[in-house]
Amino acid sequence: MTSSPIPRRVALISVHTSPLAQPGTGDAGGLNVYVWQTAVRLARRGIEVEIFTRATSSADAPAVAAAPGVTVRHVVAGPFEGLDKRDLPAQLCAFTAGVLRAEAAQAPGYYDIIHSHYWLSGQVGWLARDRWGVPLVHTAHTLAAVKNAALAAGDTAEPQLRVIGEQQVVGEADRLVANTETEAAELISMYDADPARIDVVTPGADLDCYTPGSVEQARAALGIDPDETIVTFVGRIQPLKAPDLLVAAAAPLIRDGHRLRLLIVGGPSGSGLERPTALMDQVAELGIADSVTFLPPQPSDRLAQVYRASDVVAVPSHSESFGLVAIEAQACGTPVIAANVGGLAVAVDDGRTGVLVDGHDVGDWTNALEKLLGQPDRLAELGRNARAHAERFSWEHTVDGLIESYRHAMRSFAAQNESAGREPTQGGARVRRRWRRRRNRVTV
């Protein structure tokens, strides 16, 4: 059997959030960044990418040429506005029908491979894989079992529906892409994944956008006092991300007279939408409102200025499959203080580019912050090391790994078809022809 070629066209499925959405708003976050950055770079390698995502506005065009070689297809499934992610499973039938119809309008063999992101997309990709006769690669990004095992106080557990749905996708996908060895181990221990079908491919950062720069200029651009010590949180404001822990940990330092400012960049998301002003209320109750600045989610060029303006970026999450914020901050030459959970132990080089804190005890975080901020020479050294560390996590490196995973999936899928006594392309074409004969009977 000859080695498999690089795919010509990838169907990339991201049901619940569009790569065109601003990260930090609603359900948009690291997944959006991952999908967009890898899609653009795959296209630069000559691989056409079509991204299927749910339409959230009547103004969304059915297809958008978002970048050279990258098309975003908006699939109508359910109401445009006000649909919570927890309500999306009820719309998967409609979304899947839209995806299958889009492929049915093309010539047989239009897509070579499917790459689904998050469990909802995996459910769609699983059916499309069987209909089209092409392999499915799946990236979970987060896992319900992992999140539930490290649930923040007062947060809502992920439903059993999701746990079951993830288990189904893990069992059906031809390849699983894990962000780190830790996530790969979680897939094996919690979901009984086949180790032979897991590829570890670390995410990255846009190293052309996130670069070191003048702290003074960044602070001037943001209107920040040049003499204050700035500790920054960037992310969705929800219990999982633990911005409340950072606020509580910094409060004693501020009250003791440290010239410290917290910069909180992001918007309410997930269970945080149930109490959208909770973090502001906490700041007021602790009496530190004058030392906390809230900013809405920022576009990437402005976010780079936020990182450069910061003395430290904090990532106190209860669970992270990787932690893109940590890499982006370090790419700008800014050290990171992060919880020692999940992929953050990979994203941060403890003691060299930042500090990892075990657990989520407020006192431990206060002590870690005070110690770090009280050693300016060490802080400067961590910052100098940060950029070199971040350069190990480029999106180009990520795409190298994804292409290899695609090739592996295509190779094993072809081998399975051969062992079943059918030629892969013809087998896939038969499946597609059978679907075309029935496509007009599909109801939404």
Angstrom distance (rounded) from CA 220 to CA 254: 23
Angstrom distance (rounded) from CA 116 to CA 34: 12
Residue 236 annotated as binding? yes
Residue 110 annotated as binding? no
Q: At what angle do helices 160-172 and 119-132 cross, to 10 degrees?
A: 40
Look at residue 412 and give its three-state secondary structure: helix
Residue 318 annotated as binding? no
Angstrom distance (rounded) from CA 149 to CA 142: 12
The answer to whether residues 366 and 316 touch, using CB atoms and an 8 Å cutoff, is: no
Angstrom distance (rounded) from CA 160 to CA 157: 9
What residues are paired with 237 via a beta bridge?
268
Longest Cα pair distance anywhere in the chain, in angstroms?
A: 76
Q: Which two tokens stand for residue 432?
A: 């597609």
Angstrom distance (rounded) from CA 382 to CA 335: 6
Phi, psi of 74 (to 5 degrees): -90, 115
The answer to whether residues 106 and 439 touch, using CB atoms and an 8 Å cutoff, is: no
Residue 22 annotated as binding? yes
Q: Which two tokens stand for residue 348?
A: 């941060």
Residue 142 annotated as binding? yes
Residue 160 annotated as binding? no
The answer to whether residues 352 and 389 touch, using CB atoms and an 8 Å cutoff, is: yes
The answer to whether residues 439 and 101 touch, using CB atoms and an 8 Å cutoff, is: yes
Q: Which two tokens stand for residue 130?
A: 């069987």
The answer to whether residues 193 and 352 touch, using CB atoms and an 8 Å cutoff, is: no
Residue 298 annotated as binding? yes
Residue 398 annotated as binding? no
Residue 30 annotated as binding? yes
Look at residue 237 and give its three-state secondary structure: strand
Query: What does 417-429 look like in DSSP terms, one character per residue?
Result: HHHTTS-HHHHHH
**Which residues of 77-141 form beta strands (DSSP E)?**
113-117, 136-139
Q: Which two tokens stand for residue 218?
A: 């960044």
Residue 240 annotated as binding? no
Residue 123 annotated as binding? no
Q: Which two tokens stand for residue 304?
A: 């780079």
Residue 307 annotated as binding? yes
Residue 91 annotated as binding? no
Look at residue 146 and give its three-state secondary structure: helix
Residue 16 annotated as binding? yes
Residue 310 annotated as binding? yes
Residue 440 annotated as binding? no
Residue 27 annotated as binding? yes
Residue 23 annotated as binding? yes
Measured in residues, the chain has a length of: 444
Annotated binding-site members for 1D-myo-inositol 3-phosphate:
16, 27-32, 85, 118, 142, 162
Annotated binding-site members for UDP-N-acetyl-alpha-D-glucosamine:
22-23, 30, 236, 241, 298, 320, 328
Annotated binding-site members for Mg(2+):
307-308, 310, 334
Annotated binding-site members:
16, 22-23, 27-32, 85, 118, 142, 162, 236, 241, 298, 307-308, 310, 320, 328, 334
